[in-house]
A and B are shown apart, each in its own frame.
Chain A
Amino acid sequence: MNNTNNRRGKNRLQPVLAAFCLLALLSWGGAEAAELRFIYANDNLGELDGCG
């Protein structure tokens, strides 16, 4: 009797756990999304007035 109740309890918990894992995965992946811009240059070589 007790074993049957435990099994039912575990079965009820499984969808909740699965939904929690899915939400955790989604929020972990989404937290990093962002737009940004890199403005870069190199080898200026001490030029004050170099121009293209």
Chain B
Amino acid sequence: MGGLSKKAFLTKQLAADSNRPALIVNSGNLLFPADVLPPENMAAAKITAAGVIEANQKMGGVVAGVGSRDLAAGISFLRQRHKPDGWSWVSLNLVDPGTGKPVLAPVLWRQVNGLKVAVLGLADHTAVRAEAETQALAWRDSLPAVLAEVQGKADFILLLSNYSLPDNQDIARSHDAIDLILQSGHVVGNMTPLLVNKTLIAQTETRGKYLGVLDVNWNGHGRWQEGEPSSPAATEGKTSVFANRFVALKLSVANDPEVEAVVRQTQRQLDQQRRGLQ
């Protein structure tokens, strides 16, 4: 059975460490294989996408950034599945062309082990197709105002970015306040955390083949250092210490029964949809 149920098994195990509470996030391009889908494939793609969201929610995921491919079925598909108490899509630069206001949540606030974490989202404005309902603003025009609003209130700022690595490096150099950028798109393969200014930038391999696990001993905004987050030196230190690893979703990994049921149900719906077409 599918990769999502293996991902769920590993995610639940990794999130069960009571000494290190977890935030489970997806940085974008979660739902669809391309920016534009052939009309004949759209119905099946929407069924699959709905199953993917439900599975990610059941494994403890709470938030996703919006990649250009997530918009293949239109912004309304995401808005219908944006539930602030359950699953949130964050994007600060996808706006209503008429009002200029964000069409999704610009920021999600989560309390993790006593820290106020602000999760921001940016879609790559150069990759997003023009749509009547939404328009993507450049990060330089949209990010500063949101950052100014959150940086005094947040202990930790995480940006889920669909921009390329050079753009994310520019963002990190321009804005000291961002602690971590998790990116989507543009890179093939796992990318170990890269320190740019005061920001770590990381990304996993595509198609759900790996999970990224970033353990942090947070000692306040400022300096990062790679090391063992639970060591006495890290606890007493003046810098924030991180350790990152990528966990492969091998065939030998067990399946999570709850998410396996979601995958099976989704596959049944896909079969019914295909039979309806014949």
* Partner-B contacts on A (CB < 8 A): 29, 32-52
Contacts and interface: CB of A to CB of B under 8 A. Distances in A.
Contact of B29 (A33, A45, A50): A45
Interface in B241-255: 248-251
A26 to B, nearest CB: 12
Contacts, number: 179
Q: Is the interface of A mostly helix, strand, loop or mixed?
A: loop
Nearest to B183: A42
Given A46-B31, A51-B209, A52-B248, A39 B25 contact: yes
B78 interface: no
Interface residues of B, number: 76
Contact of A46 (B33, B113, B202): B33
Interface string B1-33: 111101100010011010111111111111111
A48 B204 contact: no
B89 interface: no
B54 to A, nearest CB: 11
Contacts of A46: 30-33, 45, 48-49, 52
Contact of A36 (B21, B52, B211): B21
A27 to B, nearest CB: 12
A48 B48 contact: yes
Nearest to B23: A38
Contacts of A51: 2-3, 6, 208-209, 249-251
Interface stretch (B100-108, B130-138, B216-224): B216-224
Given A38-B216, A42-B203, A49 B25 contact: no
B215 interface: yes
B153 to A, nearest CB: 13
A42 B25 CA distance: 9
B15 A39 contact: yes
A32 B32 contact: no
A40 B180 CA distance: 12
A50 to B, nearest CB: 4
CB-based closest 3 A-B pairs: A49-B2, A42-B184, A43-B206
